[in-house]
Structure 1
Amino acid sequence: MTRTDLTATAKRWVPALEWLPNYRKTDLRGDLIAGITVAMMLIPQAMSYALLAGLPPYIGLYAAVLPLLVYAFFGTSRQLAVGPVAMVALLVASGVSGLAELGSERYIALAIGLSLLVGIMQFGMGVFRLGFLTNFMSHPVISGFTSAAALIIGFSQLKHIVGLQLPNTENIALTFWNTITQWTDINPMALTIGLGGIVLLLIIRRINPMLPGAMIAVVLSTVIVWLFDLDVNAGLSVVGAVPAGFPELSAPDVSLGDLRDLLPIALTIAFVGFIESIAVAKKIAQEKGYEVDPNKELVGLGLANIVGAFSKAMPVTGGFSRTAVNKNAGANTGLASMITAVLIGISLLLFTPLFYYIPNAILGSVIMVAVFGLIDTHEVKHLWQVKRDDLAMLGVTFAATLVLGVKTGIFLAVGLSMLWFVVKTTRPHYAILGRLPGTMVYRNIERRADAETTPGVLALRFDAQFYYGNVTFLKDTLKKAEANMTTPLRAVVLDASAVNQLDSSADTALHELLQDYRNRGIQLLFASVKGPVMDVMQRSGFAEKLGQENFYLTTHEAVEAASD
């Protein structure tokens, strides 16, 4: 292999080799500002999301250093801010809590092992180019799942806001009930700091979304706790001692049996994490005028999680809110993420004693404000006006996730998306066509009252690929249309302009239709048959059996021939 080939291969697997050698000085200012801004946002978020996952806060900080550096080299998005996110944190807690006691050494080891398993899965999906699988998750279903999960995540932080020892549950009603029944034990100082943090964060967001609201709230509350010794005098729960420096690089302390037990939740996190990441990455790439490669994104996220597992990090992915801040702050390349990682690394080396007095209540308020912004009321309004059957899918997913939990909800969301896809392809749209007066144009007679049909001729357009799943539907549709005709049927024109594929079952059905129509003295004609469909018809002998004289370029030509 020549040096040129090696360079091309390296660039294909390491996208940073494309932009680093050609880095423009004009991009540095934006990357520097974005890197600093996101670091100030990520430090409190990383600790908050670790807490949400049932892990010590420093595990979240570990997840905000090496994984960011790795993704910056191997990812294709220039603005995606990788790190701990609320959705993945909740899934970690949901999946690992059934295997070990929350916060125990074994729990931490399993969570780190989960990072390794998630990384291997995502890396494998990227290498084998399976990024297309996310296309089966419809946007309404994702929106319903995300909104419900946001509510579950938000209310899971109620225990920190009120300072109560509440059981870990995804049942919002149960969380409310436990809080109400223990209202006399609520810690007034935790409630004051928690609610005050929420109000402060909302005010800062309203004044200027670019301001590091989370960092401002954390610093203010930490100074207050330190000044008045509220952890002692008011029994306020704080982060406590955070180990200084970086952890020793080592393989996760888990067995093969542990990895087997973690497989279901790892698969869920790998899938959900990638969906969240690719959704925001694609949106911003479209705004910026470039493209992201889903398969390379999987490789980048996979390697970030694998390396993270060896540095005792929780699973990571791209986050909605941080990515938006990264973009708005001026990020132009992956250097912004590198700067963020370096700054958090410096914080781990020098500033961990300052983290001791951070109140858990303020971290809970950071999570609440962040995740409640993910509740998508705009999509509900949009679907109510545009597509109410999709709104029903959103509603079912939302309700099921709230009632059954996040793990069950995501699998239900995937299943519903698949089922809806099957339903739409097995019962596709079709149109009985009529000619617009004075033209050679044919349109759906249900939409155009002036469209005129030809007596005895049924012209029908089938708007989907023709395969085994909708064979029966086409036959039934033709029978129904024939039964509704006011004159005896003598010719059928099938407009195949929207048919892209034809499988063997559908081809067999066409042979049967042709034989049935010929036995009844009815002519069958085709219009606008595409090349791939014609190839199948020719190989199967259908084209020869029908006769080339019964294939036409346009519906008008076919109807005219049938009329003659």
Structure 2
Amino acid sequence: MHRLSHLLPFLTWLPRQTPRSVRQDLLVGLSGAILALPQSIAYALIAGLPAEYGLYAAIVPVIIACLWGSSWHLICGPTAAISIVLYASVSPLAVSGSSDYISLILLLTFLAGAFQLVLGLVRFGALVNFVSHSVVLGFTLGAAVVIALGQLPNLLGIELASQATALKTLQDLLSHAGEIDLPALTLGLATLLLGLLLKLWRPRWPSLLISLLLVSLVAWLLPQWFGQVARVPAFSGQPPPLSPLPLLDFELILRLLPSAVAVGMLGLVTSLSIARSLASRSEQMIDANQEIRAQGLSNMVGSVFSGYLSSGSFTRSGLSYDAGARSPLAGVFSALWVALFAVTGAGLIAHLPIPAMAGSILLICWGLIDVRGIRALFRVSRAEFLVMALTAMATLLLELQTAIYAGVLASLFFYLKRTSQPRVLQSREGETDVLRVGGSIFFGAAHYLQVRLQRCQGPHVLIDARQVNFIDYSGVDMLHREARRLMRNGGSLTLQRARPQVVEELQKLEGAQACPIRFED
């Protein structure tokens, strides 16, 4: 039974559902679907895909992630940040919206899902911790600006070719500023302003959906003014169709692999951050590796059912928690409600003006910027704030997948800089210099500690090592050399209160009898 529940984790909670909890989850799922409909369509357009692919990404991947995940409230689906990374990765290879472009997006989704699944199977969930929260904040801030700039041509009624970076998009937009279409701009601004007012007045209402419907109704009732404004392309209502992956071209896979790894990591970090945040409020234990496996499986299976890459959604997961979801069934019901709309309401989508969709996307971009988180980061850690700012700048100046790597490298740089200079408190007791080391002795910190040892005036040196968690070969070799130097000058090197594993590593080099370092409890 344990092995079966490991393969089918939903068996641990599904039998415990009651008619009352199922009814509650059904209503929560309906609320989530109402929120997901305009978002999913908008995200598909950001990714350069036809509108229906946003709905497909909110069906099968969501069901798989909910059934195989560990969180009660995490709801997955297409997101703005991942959509823009996918667009930036694939648009140089094919024309957006074409069949080749769709195939490449689905192949990239499959590769990212396979990468996520492998991380989960080898229980390597801690890898996502290398993408710090400051990197996510900076990337989200930069991605919001990139998305907004990319939607300004649709808002203004200007047809422009897509650009690889935000700077080039801005330059192209400024050079065509005289081509603004006033009816399109009117619809776009009306959607944006109405959505903002609804958010302030009734935060719990589906402001995106209401503003889109009202503006689309006005455009339909006044064809003499808005009849020429571009609409979302129509599609035939159907369940998510099977989309066999293209022949696995090794060269093509190598070209897509860096983007797949970057966007896969971004999706995992986002999903786990949301899951942990909600779990702390609901007092639930999260299995990070199970969650990673669920994300990978959902993207691999979802790509076969025309769903492009999905990850945890801040808004939909928060709604699931606030609305009182009793189990992951709320997410499953949400996906089924979206599927029902995809089959029965496809004709209505064709009446949505593209400038209105652009206005709703700008509203989403505004919601992506975590002002409170950025302020808190500035107060708590200036180094982490600098990482956030560098990541945001890289997002604006570089391709987005490159910006993620730049942010990770910046985080690692500041981490190594901080750990390479452990806190050392020095005092003098008679002829003995006492050093209290507040960090591990590894290759990055060995030279710094060696300099501090050589500055000691007395012949005897005592290191208070109670806070030294581990020591590597570089640290062992350095301490042995310093101990011999002190012995040649008639002194000694003593480690006090060292952990057993640290003592063991120090004695391995020459054996316990020949070790030049003394140990005290």
Normalised by the shorter chain, which TM-score bucket?
over 0.9
Check whether the contact 1:33–1:330 (CA below 8 A) recurs between aligned residues.
Answer: no
Check whether the contact 1:41–1:322 (CA below 8 A) recurs between aligned residues.
Answer: yes
Counterpart of 1:459 (choices 431, 434, 453) is 434
Counterpart of 1:243 (choices 216, 220, 236) is 236
Secondary structure class of the residue paired with 1:116 = helix
Counterpart of 1:507 (choices 452, 461, 476) is 476
Point out the structure with max Rg over C-alpha: 1
Alpha-carbon shift at residue 171 of structure 1 (Å): 3.8
Alpha-carbon shift at residue 48 of structure 1 (Å): 0.5
Alpha-carbon shift at residue 524 of structure 1 (Å): 2.2
1:552 aligns with 2:509: no
Change (3 A) 1:384 1:249: closer
Secondary structure class of the residue paired with 2:458 = coil
- 1:503 maps to amino acid: D
Counterpart of 2:123 (choices 96, 104, 129) is 129
Distance 1:327 1:462 in 2: 44
- 1:467 maps to amino acid: F
- 1:527 maps to amino acid: Q
Secondary structure class of the residue paired with 2:425 = strand
Distance 1:261 1:537 in 2: 46
- 2:242 maps to amino acid: L
Alpha-carbon shift at residue 29 of structure 1 (Å): 4.8
**Aligned position for 2:452:** 477
Alpha-carbon shift at residue 154 of structure 1 (Å): 1.9
Change (3 A) 1:114 1:547: closer
**Aligned position for 2:253:** 259
Distance 1:26 1:282 in 2: 27
- 2:131 maps to amino acid: M
- 1:238 maps to amino acid: R
Secondary structure class of the residue paired with 1:77 = coil
**Aligned position for 1:104:** 98
- 2:519 maps to amino acid: F
Alpha-carbon shift at residue 386 of structure 1 (Å): 2.9
Distance 2:476 2:280 in 1: 40
- 1:474 maps to amino acid: L
Alpha-carbon shift at residue 174 of structure 1 (Å): 3.9
Change (3 A) 1:27 1:110: same
Aligned ranges for residues 506-525 of structure 1 at < 5 Å? 506-525=475-494
TM-score (norm 2): 0.94
Alpha-carbon shift at residue 269 of structure 1 (Å): 1.3
Alpha-carbon shift at residue 375 of structure 1 (Å): 2.2
- 1:457 maps to amino acid: T
Alpha-carbon shift at residue 211 of structure 1 (Å): 1.1
Instruction: Answer with 138-147 or 118-127: which moved more.
Output: 138-147
Change (3 A) 1:42 1:293: same
Check whether the contact 2:383–2:414 (CA below 8 A) recurs between aligned residues.
Answer: no
Alpha-carbon shift at residue 24 of structure 1 (Å): 4.1
Check whether the contact 1:189–1:234 (CA below 8 A) recurs between aligned residues.
Answer: no
1:494 aligns with 2:463: yes
Counterpart of 1:146 (choices 133, 140, 144) is 140
- 1:502 maps to amino acid: I
Distance 1:10 1:192 in 2: 57
Alpha-carbon shift at residue 459 of structure 1 (Å): 1.2
Check whether the contact 1:13–1:296 (CA below 8 A) recurs between aligned residues.
Answer: no
**Aligned position for 2:363:** 369
Change (3 A) 1:534 1:175: same
**Aligned position for 2:318:** 324
Instruction: Answer with 539-548 or 524-533: which moved more.
Output: 539-548
Distance 1:124 1:381 in 2: 36
Instruction: Answer with 502-511 or 33-42: which moved more.
Output: 502-511
1:537 aligns with 2:512: no
Check whether the contact 2:215–2:356 (CA below 8 A) recurs between aligned residues.
Answer: yes
Distance 1:380 1:248 in 2: 41
Secondary structure class of the residue paired with 1:21 = helix
Unaligned 5+ runs, structure 2: none
**Aligned position for 1:449:** none
Check whether the contact 1:118–1:269 (CA below 8 A) recurs between aligned residues.
Answer: yes
Alpha-carbon shift at residue 123 of structure 1 (Å): 1.1
Unaligned 5+ runs, structure 1: 1-6, 434-452, 483-487, 554-564
- 2:65 maps to amino acid: Y
Residues 156-182 of structure 1: CA deviation (Å, up to 9, x unaligned)? 111221111122125444434433443
Secondary structure class of the residue paired with 2:436 = strand
Check whether the contact 2:113–2:299 (CA below 8 A) recurs between aligned residues.
Answer: yes
- 2:238 maps to amino acid: G
Q: CA RMSD in A?
A: 2.1
Residues 97-129 of structure 1: CA deviation (Å, up to 9, x unaligned)? 111112212111111222211211111111111
Distance 1:332 1:495 in 2: 51
Distance 1:528 1:33 in 2: 59
Check whether the contact 1:169–1:175 (CA below 8 A) recurs between aligned residues.
Answer: yes
Alpha-carbon shift at residue 79 of structure 1 (Å): 1.0
Counterpart of 1:419 (choices 384, 395, 413) is 413
Alpha-carbon shift at residue 65 of structure 1 (Å): 0.9
Residues 194-240 of structure 1: CA deviation (Å, up to 9, x unaligned)? 1111112212222232211111112212222333337x954211113
Check whether the contact 1:157–1:367 (CA below 8 A) recurs between aligned residues.
Answer: yes
Secondary structure class of the residue paired with 2:429 = coil
- 1:281 maps to amino acid: A
Counterpart of 2:301 (choices 287, 296, 307) is 307
1:190 aligns with 2:195: no
